[in-house]
Amino acid sequence: MAGSVNKVTLIGNLGKDPEVRTTQSGMKIVNLAVATSETWNDKTSGERQERTEWHRVVIMNDRLADVAERFLKKGSKVYLEGKLQTRKWTDQSGQEKYTTEVMLGRIGAELVLLDRANASGGGDDMPRGNARAAGGYGGGQAAPRSGGWDAGKSGADLDDEIPF
């Protein structure tokens, strides 16, 4: 095997508004609390069960941080791609602690806003899609949200000449 893979994909909802900090060098760092849930029917009782898992997400990518700061809020539904990263820190009592987070860095990170309700509610500056940092350039771009082959069209706009 030539290498290994560290990739995390999440679809979930923000549990609180993004926390935005700026470093002394001017870089924005955004912290998110993202909840993912799974549901199932309990075999013994037949009752519907649900388990929610909370994920710490750290954005250290200027473009993604800008999108998160401007457009995300508590309850927003997002699609994220990043990598797991564990960091060691010391608490106030001097004990070493470890925290594992999903890191959206400069390369290979993606943030897609999945809330359609926000896109129709206001200004034209709301991105209808994703901001991405991929490849080796660490760039990032805003892309239109793909809502299906007929996104944004009413039935009257469809071509009547289609032979099927």
pLDDT by residue, tens only, the chain of 164 residues: 678 999 999 999 999 999 999 999 999 999 999 999 999 999 999 999 999 999 999 999 999 999 999 999 999 999 999 999 999 999 999 999 999 999 999 999 999 999 865 544 444 454 545 555 543 333 333 333 433 333 343 444 444 454 43
What CATH number is attached to the domain comprising 116?
Answer: 2.40.50.140
27 by DSSP, 3-state: which? coil
Cα gap 119→128, rounded to integer Å: 6
Residue 1 maps to a domain: no
> How many domains does the chain contain in total?
1
Residue 162 maps to a domain: no
Range of 119's domain?
8-40+48-157
Residue 163 maps to a domain: no
Share of the chain above pLDDT 70, in %: 70
H or E stretch including 98?
strand 96-104
Residue 2 maps to a domain: no
Residue 164 maps to a domain: no
Residue 108 maps to a domain: yes
Residue 29 maps to a domain: yes
Whether 114 contacts 11, CB under 8 Å: yes
Q: What pTM, to 2 d.p., does this model score?
A: 0.70
Whether 36 contacts 82, CB under 8 Å: no
